[in-house]
Structure 1
Amino acid sequence: MSTRGVLSFGGLLSARGVRALSAGLVALVALIAAVVLLGPDGDSAGGTEDGRPGPAADRWTGTWSAAAAAVEPGNVDGYAGTSIRNVVHTSIGGTSARIQLSNLLGTRPLAIRHASIARAAAPGTPAAAPGTMRRLTFSGRPGVTVPAGGGVTSDPVRLTVPPAADLLVTTYSPAPSGPVTYHPHARQTSYLARGDRAADTTGADYTKKVTSWRYLTGVDVRGPHTDGAVAAIGDSITDGSTSTPDTNHRWPDFLAARLRTEPGAPRYGVLNQGISGNRLLTDGSRWSVSGGPSVLSRLERDVLSRAGVRSVIVEIGLNDLFKSPRRLDPEELADGMREIVRRARARGIQVTGSTLTPFGGHRGYRAELDSVRQALNAKIRAGEVFERYADFDKALRDPGNPLRLRPAYDSGDHLHPSDAGYRAMAEAVNLRQLKGRAPAAS
């Protein structure tokens, strides 16, 4: 409205009218700000489940993740007409949630017609806690097509997500979608059901149990206490191979428990980006259930671009020795680790390295390989590779025979730790070193 229009309506505005007009403008600005802060479904991301206003949301932080590791063998058409209910365990809580889906290793578009997230009614069950089932949308739409080689992030939904709780993330695909991107060694039971059962809360139709995660690669939360996350990247030892299934006894799980409970610890989420058989320098075959893309090739996707990552802990190197027996130069491995540090520092992310753990008695043991391990460990301890490190070798080795794992920490294969060994690894991490952000490289 022009000034002339205002004057013609009632003459010059009085002081009271000016104040009223100003108050109206302030209210309009507040309304616009509120609309901007609303989620795609019209709900405030910081609200409570029953619609009441909640605390102001802070920043997105990963609470759970799994690396896209391989193509599921023997499945060329995907899961047409099937609901996949992935069960995942959170490390940090929030008041809103969103998920990431990956078709990284697929060769055809992946059509998701229905996706949902809910809290599990009890640990490990496919049943949802009452009142927690949420339908997920993607750019405001109820379904999404994930392109071959790509990934998507859902819109946020209001959901109270506790730390150390199980979530149910379900996807339903109506049509064949080609090879399946999955994480084979989940150490966690998930479920399949025929038909579109993404909104089912009872779990009764989820009669088939599976031990891998499919398509799902991340869950983020947002809330007043989502201060950041630490990513753990590595091989089967980080993946939790040989830990007791359905107990969350991988070393990153024990680390998450320490971060939640110890005084003065940063309240970070923990993202497990371990892949069994993974190497630092060399990619594995996409068709093998053991290997995956190398740490250097997947660092950006699995760590540097993840929501809220402030620190990364690197546990890698043994498979480079086992699978590349001619690669016996510890300096080449050290250079690969230094590359991780350089790339992370450029993003302001702290890096904690780790020493390579003993494997005496394992079928892959050779004295010349162990000499490379020990030479690399000496470089790490001397500060020639990382600015800070966790001494996993010292935490796990047998004091009476340091080439081998301590018997109580040995799962039995003389390479992978037991549950107690994984706990000892988590206890070897200096939590204070995870705080803050690294100075960006100049």
Structure 2
Amino acid sequence: MTRAIKVRHLLAALVAATALAPPTVRADAVPAADWTGTWEAAPTGTTRALPGDTVRNVVHTSIGGSVLRVRVTNRFGSAPLRLGSVTVALQRRGRPGSPRAVPGTVRHARFGGAPSATVPTGRDAYTDPVRLRVPAGANLLVSLHTPDDSGPATYHRSALRKNFVARGGDHTGDEGGGAFRTTVRSSYYVTGIDVLDARAAGSVATLGDSITDGIGSSPGTDHRWPDRLAERLRALPPRRRLGVLNAGISGNHVLRENVGPSALDRLEDDVLSRAGVRALIVLEGVNDIKDRPGAAHPAALEAAYRNIVVRAHARGVRVIGATITPYRGHRSWTEAGETVRTAVNAVIRDGGLFDAVADFDAVVRDHAQPQRIRSDYDPGDHLHFNDTGMRELARAVDLAALTPRGPRPARHP
């Protein structure tokens, strides 16, 4: 029996079971290589917990599927995380930033068949498969009830949208949004969504800092450059289409811990362990340069990039290096930092490290003042990019460089 037939039989059994009862099939019952990542938010650290409350996160899919699973995290917590209930639903269309679910789409997730779970300190966990048809480019509501104080909450700081909190009680099953009267600008506990039966060949991860995280783009619009890349990829035939996983963290460094672990330290958790990853785009290094220009020697960054490439290649993942964009005019700019940036970009372009290069610097720089970004791409801080600039970054990626070659690599569930 072929793998495709086995998966169809599994899905048929899952659908039949969930017609009578909540899904109880474990995530590890599905072959790891058959999951595909559709969304990610890399954990950045911890914030105040929400004991007794329900948090409703809004996540934007890149590709669709017929079944999903949620990856929840207690990676930076100081105590086991107890989850009383977790649900997934489609967000109701209409007014942006609504906590309301499409009627009839709320699904209760389970963990090993149980309605609640405890996630150990320093770990992530997957829900069992949840039967919900997930459209590409849609918003999902992922709601989690934390019945007691499990210590600091692992979160992604810059969600660039409104998420919601309902105080005092389990409101994960609510279709309406009346209980969700508090808004937050971060994502709590949820670090990934994977789908089955995706019309795609896998996913591409984007490892980066605040530019990849989307700072400078319009909140609530999903105009980060990885989102715009996902729009381009959705227009391709399924054999070339990829989901997009945004592993950007504002303030992140390549060489050392700053906001979140360094890119080197988080490569496994935020990229290589993700479902169906076939390619990786690396846009990171400007924080190393501008924050510590004397310590960010080009040779040190070159060695770090080489480390990333070697580890990715060992997992069958292609790596695209993106040149570091200009930032003159930002308060952190110095001549010394510019010298390092220029040298590092030469390594990225001509050093033979990467499978391909996305020359972001060439696309967005002001050709009259190449140490600066173009004014029509600048949100005002001379470092990040507005919606137009984000679109141009996405356009600079050669989609052919992302096209998977060979069989899909297996992924650990």
Q: What is the TM-score normalised by the length of structure 2?
A: 0.90
1:111 lines up with 2:82 in the alignment: yes
Aligned pair count?
Answer: 388
Larger radius of gyration: 1
User: Compared with structure 1, are the counterparts of its residues 35 and 118 closer, same or farther at alpha carbon in structure 2 (3 Å cutoff)?
Assistant: closer
1:358 lines up with 2:307 in the alignment: no
Shift of 1:325: 2.8
Structure 1: gaps of 5 or more residues: 1-29, 45-56, 285-290
Q: What code does the residue aligned with 2:155 have?
A: Y
Q: Deviations over 1:174-197 (max 9, x none)?
A: 111101101111101110002100
Q: Distance in 2 between matches of 1:326 and 1:416?
A: 23
* Residue aligned with 1:386, SS: coil
1:138 lines up with 2:111 in the alignment: yes
**Match of 1:66?**
41
* Residue aligned with 1:321, SS: helix
**Match of 1:279?**
253
Q: Deviations over 1:138-161 (max 9, x none)?
A: 000000001111111000111110
Contact 1:58 1:224 in 2 (8 A): no
Contact 1:250 1:422 in 2 (8 A): yes
**Match of 1:392?**
360
1:259 lines up with 2:227 in the alignment: no
Shift of 1:70: 1.1
Identity %: 47
Counterpart of 2:371 (choices 393, 403, 406) is 403
* Residue aligned with 2:232, SS: helix
Q: What code does the residue aligned with 2:272 have?
A: L
User: Compared with structure 1, are the counterparts of its residues 389 and 416 closer, same or farther at alpha carbon in structure 2 (3 Å cutoff)?
Assistant: same
Shift of 1:304: 0.5
1:128 lines up with 2:101 in the alignment: yes
Q: Distance in 1 between matches of 2:270 and 2:14?
A: 26
* Residue aligned with 2:229, SS: helix
**Match of 1:427?**
395
Q: Distance in 2 between matches of 1:244 and 1:300?
A: 30
Q: What code does the residue aligned with 1:141 have?
A: A
**Match of 1:159?**
132
Contact 1:94 1:226 in 2 (8 A): no
Q: What is the TM-score normalised by the length of structure 1?
A: 0.84
Q: Distance in 1 between matches of 2:406 and 2:300?
A: 24
User: Compared with structure 1, are the counterparts of its residues 58 and 119 closer, same or farther at alpha carbon in structure 2 (3 Å cutoff)?
Assistant: farther
* Residue aligned with 2:17, SS: coil
* Residue aligned with 1:393, SS: helix
Shift of 1:283: 0.9
Q: Distance in 2 between matches of 1:355 and 1:265?
A: 28
Q: Distance in 1 between matches of 2:82 and 2:140?
A: 22
Q: What code does the residue aligned with 1:325 have?
A: P
Shift of 1:376: 1.0
Q: Distance in 2 between matches of 1:175 and 1:184?
A: 22
Query: What are the residue-to-residue correspondences of 1:82-97 with 2, within 5 Å?
Result: 82-97=53-68
**Match of 2:51?**
80
Q: What code does the residue aligned with 2:118 have?
A: T
Q: Deviations over 1:246-295 (max 9, x none)?
A: 000100000000001256882111000000000111012xxxxxx11111
Q: Deviations over 1:346-386 (max 9, x none)?
A: 00001001101001111001011101100111121114322
**Match of 1:181?**
154
Contact 1:228 1:269 in 2 (8 A): yes
Q: What code does the residue aligned with 1:155 have?
A: D
**Match of 1:374?**
342
Q: Which of 261-270 and 429-438 deviates more?
A: 261-270
Q: Cα RMSD between the aligned structures?
A: 2.2
Q: Deviations over 1:380-435 (max 9, x none)?
A: 11143223110010111001111100000111101001111111000000000001
Query: What are the residue-to-residue correspondences of 1:40-51 with 2, within 5 Å?
Result: 42-43=17-18
User: Compared with structure 1, are the counterparts of its residues 61 and 34 closer, same or farther at alpha carbon in structure 2 (3 Å cutoff)?
Assistant: closer
Q: What code does the residue aligned with 1:379 have?
A: V
